[in-house]
């Protein structure tokens, strides 16, 4: 099945990035958000990244304008009723995602493939609330979506071969390298990342080393572009906490339990770059 019309259900930072890469690849995109305010914030994010690419010579002004022209925004989920593929990108709450999937199943035509951008939750569990479990799959984009080269595709127990092949082709059309993972907690990427980040957090809370030196051990020792604590700040400590807690609840593996220092930062509202303070302090951005 060919994909021409794409929908994005959820207009956060990730939803904006997904909409951008789909539009840049020539797809007609409808993005649904909860409010006009969230939609305005999302389009501002897209314009920021596109403008930066224009300034750096990666794309032309015409490319930017044509990308924005491919994106339509709505606060009405019913406007996804003609899409070939819809990507859900709401917070990591299984009950919220189930509600969204049940609604998308009702709204969308029978051929529509329903994808979840979940980073750790069960795609099979989401598929069970629909009448099309064979056309439900995970598409875990990494942040920031326009810059990341990777798309992790998660095959639910019920996902058909046709759906898997179609979504792999779709992912490659976005310029992404594809990994296919089984539907297990954290899949591939977050299974590794959450364990690494948790270890870094425990080194910090036990006073073994400073945040700077812990991060340098990875950036200088393994040539990582960014250390695990700085990356946690970038992604949002509240997001990391939700993912860590969800993985621990599913596995009971102590490696994935949220660290005490992470919980303390989240409880105090220090969520990383978005609040100008997390493991590091940041200058306020204009």
Angle, CA of 83, 85 and 90, to the nearest 5°: 105
Active site (catalytic) residues: 119, 140, 152, 190
Place of tokens 């509240």: 238
Environment class of 88 (CB within 10 Å of its CB; exposed 0-12, middle 13-18, buried 19+)? buried
Distance CA 226, CA 212 (A): 11
Distance CA 123, CA 115 (A): 9
**Three-state secondary structure of the chain:** CCCCEEEEECCCHHHHHHHHHHHHCCCEEEEECCCHHHHHHHHHHHHHHHHHHHHCCCCCHHHHHHHHHCEEEECCHHHHCCCCEEEECCCCCHHHHHHHHHHHHHHCCCCCEEEECCCCCCHHHHHCCCCCHHHEEEEEECCCCCCCCEEEEEECCCCCHHHHHHHHHHHHHCCCEEEEEECCCCCCHHHHHHHHHHHHHHHHHCCCCCHHHHHHHHHCCCCCCCCHHHHHHHHCHHHHHHHHHHHHHHHCCHHHCCCHHHHHHHHCCCCEHHHCECCCECCCCC
């Amino acid at each position: 099945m060919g994909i021409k019309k794409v929908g994005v259900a959820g207009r956060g930072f990730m939803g904006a990035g997904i909409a951008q890469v789909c539009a840049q690849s020539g797809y007609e995109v409808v993005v649904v958000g909860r409010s006009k305010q969230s939609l305005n914030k999302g389009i501002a994010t897209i314009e920021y990244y596109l403008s930066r690419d224009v300034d750096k010579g990666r794309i032309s002004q015409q490319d930017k304008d044509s990308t924005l022209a491919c994106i339509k925004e709505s606060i009405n989920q019913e406007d996804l009723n003609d899409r070939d593929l819809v990507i859900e990108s709401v917070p990591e709450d299984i009950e919220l995602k189930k509600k969204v999937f049940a609604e998308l199943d009702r709204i969308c035509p029978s051929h529509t493939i329903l994808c979840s951008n979940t980073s750790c939750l069960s795609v099979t569990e989401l598929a069970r609330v629909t009448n099309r479990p064979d056309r439900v799959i995970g598409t875990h984009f990494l942040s920031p979506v326009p810059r990341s080269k990777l798309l992790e595709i998660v095959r639910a127990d019920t996902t058909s071969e046709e759906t898997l092949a179609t979504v792999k082709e779709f992912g490659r059309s976005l310029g992404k390298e594809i990994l296919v993972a089984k539907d297990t907690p954290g899949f591939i990427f977050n299974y590794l990342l959450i364990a690494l980040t948790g270890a870094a957090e425990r080194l910090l809370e036990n006073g073994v080393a400073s945040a700077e030196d812990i991060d340098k051990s990875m950036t200088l020792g393994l040539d990582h572009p960014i250390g695990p604590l700085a990356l946690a700040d970038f992604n949002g400590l509240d997001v990391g906490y939700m993912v860590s807690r969800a993985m621990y609840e599913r596995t009971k593996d102590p490696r994935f339990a949220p660290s005490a220092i992470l919980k303390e930062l989240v409880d105090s509202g220090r969520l990383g770059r978005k609040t100008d303070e997390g493991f590091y302090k940041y200058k306020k951005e204009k």
